[in-house]
A and B are shown apart, each in its own frame.
Chain A
Amino acid sequence: DAMVIQNPRYQVTQFGKPVTLSCSQTLNHNVMYWYQQKSSQAPKLLFHYYDKDFNNEADTPDNFQSRRPNTSFCFLDIRSPGLGDAAMYLCATSRDPRGYPYEQYFGPGTRLTVT
Chain B
Amino acid sequence: DAKTTQPNSMESNEEEPVHLPCNHSTISGTDYIHWYRQLPSQGPEYVIHGLTSNVNNRMASLAIAEDRKSSTLILHRATLRDAAVYYCILRPISNFGNEKLTFGTGTRLTIIP
Contact = CB atoms under 8 A, between A and B. Distances in A.
Interface in B47-82: 49
B45 A106 contact: yes
Given A101-B34, A105-B46, A106-B45, A42 B98 contact: no
A42 B103 contact: yes
Interface in A15-61: 31, 33, 35, 42-45, 48, 55, 57
A44 B98 CA distance: 14
A92 interface: yes
B81 to A, nearest CB: 16
Interface in B91-113: 91-96, 98-101, 103-106
Given A42-B103, A42-B105, A42-B106, A101 B42 contact: no
B104 A106 contact: no
- Please tell me the size bucket of the interface on B: 20 to 34
A58 B110 CA distance: 36
A35 B93 CA distance: 21
Given A92-B43, A105-B46, A109-B42, A43 B103 contact: yes
Nearest to A107: B43
27 contacts: A31-B99, A33-B99, A35-B101, A42-B87, A42-B103, A42-B105, A42-B106, A43-B44, A43-B103, A48-B99, A92-B43, A92-B101, A98-B96, A98-B98, A99-B94, A100-B93, A101-B32, A101-B49, A101-B92, A101-B93, A101-B98, A103-B46, A105-B46, A106-B43, A106-B44, A106-B45, A108-B42
Interface of A: 4, 31, 33, 35, 42-45, 48, 55, 57, 90, 92, 94, 97-101, 103-109
